[in-house]
Amino acid sequence: MPLAVPLSRFTSRVGGGSAFYVRHLMHASFKKWLLAEPRIRSVRFQYGFLAFIIGFIIFEAVVAASLSPSYRLGRLFGFIVPFMFLFNHLAYQFRWSQKVTIILRVVAWVWIVFGLSYMMFVICKL
Model pLDDT, residue 62: 94
Close Cβ partners of 86 (under 8 Å, ≥ 6 residues apart): 53, 54, 57
The per-residue pLDDT for range 3-41, each reduced to its tens digit, is 565 555 555 555 555 555 555 555 667 666 667 777 777
Task: Tell whether the torsion through CA atoms of 32, 87, 81 and 112 is positive or negative.
Answer: positive
Range of 51's domain?
2-125
The pTM for the full model equals 0.69
The per-residue pLDDT for range 51-106, each reduced to its tens digit, is 999 999 999 999 988 988 888 777 788 899 999 999 999 999 998 999 999 999 99
Q: How many domains does the chain have?
A: 1
Average pLDDT, rounded, for the chain: 81
